[in-house]
Amino acid sequence: MTRTRLRPVAGALRAVGYAAGLPALALLAWALATDRSASIYFPPPGTIANAFAATWFGPAFTTDVLPSLGRFAVGVLLSIVIGVVAGTAIGTTRWLRDLLEPLFEFFRAVPPVVLVPVLMLMLGVGDSMRIAVIVSGCVWPVLLNTVEGVRGVDTVLTETSRSYRVRGALSLRYVVLPAASPQIMAGIRLCLSIGLILMVISEMFASSSGLGYRIVYFQRSFMIAQMWSGIVLLGLIGVAVATLYGIAERRVLHWYHGMREVARG
């Protein structure tokens, strides 16, 4: 009786242990290594933690963190909308696909970072340039995955829809997009990680605010603990974004995971 009652508690503890165990060990290793070293480039974790609180819970939260997150959110959302809309159109229209596919291969191969100088010339050095940089890199995984997903709808399902005359917007909403959603979600996952990288990089050029700008600023001013605290913050944002993605994916793809679980027995 007590054992069965304790089991969920033990399970939860084990899950926390697994999730936090390695980060705790890494922190310990960092602390031990920096304790003996006199190098100013590798401050001990306590110093970084103090710098973290002092830097990011102050005005920098509104002048740097929020603008960065805003650009990231707008860039990623635009990429998802453009990618899904264009991808659906291209995936369902054969001539459009034949026309555009070689072009896509070219653009996809161009690293988005090299577009920064070009976009700076075109859009100036403001937010629109930075958002454009994010979109230029993030739109591809969503777009190409949507094209593949929309094209790959099961023929039996397509014939079922045709014979029951489920067409147009209804077919898009209830058949085509859900059928493509596992691939679209995989594209969005990639889009998020690329977006975070491009957010930082775009802020390292000709910028006066944002996390990327601030980290480079700290580095140039030899504020090493502050610089490290910015890197820690980026990592934490990455974890938060991945967690939010996980929640959204479980909601959108609950049928897909359920189906695979059943298939596995």
Partner 1 sequence: MADTGTLSVRDLGKTYPVGTGEVEAIRSISFDVRAGELVCIVGPSGCGKTTLLKCLSGLLSPTTGSVLLDGQAVLAPPEKMAVVFQEYGRSLYPWLSVRDNVGLPLKARGVPRDEREQAVRAALEEVGLGQALASFPWQLSGGMQQRVAIARAIAYQPEVLVMDEPFAAVDAQTRADLEDLVRRVWQDLGVTVIFVTHDIDESVYLGERVLVLSSSPTVVQEDLAVDLPAARDQISTRALPRFTELRTHVHEQIQHAKRGARTPLPRPTS
3-class state of residue 72 by DSSP:
helix
Question: Does 160 interact with partner 1 (rule: CB under 8 A)?
Answer: yes
Question: Does 36 interact with partner 1 (rule: CB under 8 A)?
Answer: no
Cβ proximity to partner 1, 115 vs 176, nearer residue: 176
Binding mask 101-140 for partner 1 (x = CB under 8 A): ----------------------------------------
Question: Does 162 interact with partner 1 (rule: CB under 8 A)?
Answer: yes
Which distant-in-sequence residues (6+ apart) come within 8 Å of 13 by Cβ? none
Total residues in contact with partner 1, by rule CB under 8 A? 23
Question: Does 159 interact with partner 1 (rule: CB under 8 A)?
Answer: yes
- Please state, as a whole number, how many other Cβ atoms lie within 10 Å of the Cβ of residue 13: 11
Stretch that binds partner 1, among 38-46, 89-97, 161-169, 202-210 (CB under 8 A): 161-169
d(CA 152, CA 215): 44
Cβ proximity to partner 1, 8 vs 265, nearer residue: 265
Among 166, 172, 197, 223, binds partner 1 (CB under 8 A): 166
Question: Does 154 interact with partner 1 (rule: CB under 8 A)?
Answer: yes
d(CA 226, CA 217): 10
Question: Does 43 interact with partner 1 (rule: CB under 8 A)?
Answer: no
Are the C-beta atoms of 212 and 203 separated by less than 8 Å? yes
Cβ proximity to partner 1, 14 vs 257, nearer residue: 257
Q: Which run of H or E residues covers position 121? A: helix 115-123
Q: Nearest distance from residue 262's CB to partner 1, in Å? A: 5
Q: Nearest distance from residue 180's CB to partner 1, in Å? A: 11
Are the C-beta atoms of 34 and 45 separated by less than 8 Å? yes
Please give the structure tokens belonging to residue 8.
Answer: 């969920």
Q: Using alpha carbons, list the distances in angstroms from residue 163 to 5, 29, 88, 158, 250.
A: 53, 64, 22, 9, 31
Among 181, 183, 202, 226, binds partner 1 (CB under 8 A): 181
d(CA 71, CA 75): 6
User: Which residues of this chain interact with partner 1, rule CB under 8 A?
Assistant: 154, 156-157, 159-160, 162-167, 170, 174-175, 178-179, 181, 255-256, 258-259, 262-263
